[in-house]
Amino acid sequence: MIRIRRGHQVYQQVCASCHSMSLISFRDLVGVAYTEEETKTMAAEIEVVDGPNDEGEMFTRPGKLSDRFPQPYANEAAARFANGGAYPPDLSLITKARHNGQNYVFALLTGYHDPPAGVTIREGLHYNPYFPGGAIAMPKMLIDGALEYEDGTPATEAQMGKDVVTFLSWAAEPEMEERKLMGFKWIFLLSLALLQAAYYRRLRWSVLKSRRLVLDVVN
């Protein structure tokens, strides 16, 4: 919970300027990362276009809990234009959308190294061994001390990486813990039911299975 809260802070301060999370609403954070009051205050800081009003015009209002997270760019074309042709993907489902998503995102964010000998990356791209192809448009964003956590935890690269990956995993699969608990419970119960059903089937069929049929001549 506290880690999801820190992860959200990392997202907001480091990632939200380029990456949208258009499937998450402010109300999803209530009870998970922040209290309702805190979330309402956070939502009210952004301006949202709403409407049309009675006069048929669109108007702007402060955000509410039911609003989605704000988008940094109006559309994909604007995002590409602002980032040299590269589109910063929406992060709402990113840990599910990449193979071994949690480990991949952590390795990617913390794994910026110098390129190997013989490899040159063109201007505007950066080398990252975990990115397919090696050349990623995003520069290294997680730097020690890049932000100050609310609760005073030291903001090292690994700390921020783990927090933001926890946050992104929660965003992609908020139901994960409940789903797994349900899974354990029902797989256990259904296995018991399976054993019981198997026993009962064999009990009822034992009559037929223990029959003896004799073919004989008719005298």
Partner 1 sequence: MADEEPVDQKKYLEEGCKPKCVKQLRAYEACVKRIEGDESGHKHCTGQYFDYWACIDKCCTDSILEIEIIEGQCCVTLASCGAVLS
Give binding residues as ranges.
15, 18-19, 138
Question: What are phi and psi for residue 10, nearest 5 degrees?
Answer: -60, -45
The answer to whether 18 touches 81, Cβ cutoff 8 Å, is: no
Q: Does 153 bind partner 1 (CB under 8 A)?
A: yes
CB of 130 to partner 1, least distance (A): 9
With 0-12 / 13-18 / 19 or more C-beta atoms within 10 angstroms meaning exposed / middle / buried, residue 95 is buried
Distance CA 14, CA 78 (A): 19
Distance CA 124, CA 136 (A): 9
CB of 4 to partner 1, least distance (A): 12
Pick out the residues of the known binding site for heme c.
15, 18-19, 138
Residue among 48 and 107 whose Cβ is closer to partner 1: 107
With 0-12 / 13-18 / 19 or more C-beta atoms within 10 angstroms meaning exposed / middle / buried, residue 178 is exposed
Residue among 3 and 40 whose Cβ is closer to partner 1: 3
Closest-CA residue to 11 (of 152, 150, 165): 165
Q: Does 156 bind partner 1 (CB under 8 A)?
A: yes
Q: Does 145 bind partner 1 (CB under 8 A)?
A: yes
Residue among 96 and 113 whose Cβ is closer to partner 1: 113
Binders of partner 1 in range 81-110 (CB under 8 A): 107, 110
CB of 161 to partner 1, least distance (A): 8
Binding-site ranges for partner 1 (CB under 8 A): 2-3, 107, 110-111, 113, 116-120, 129, 134, 144-145, 152-159, 161-162
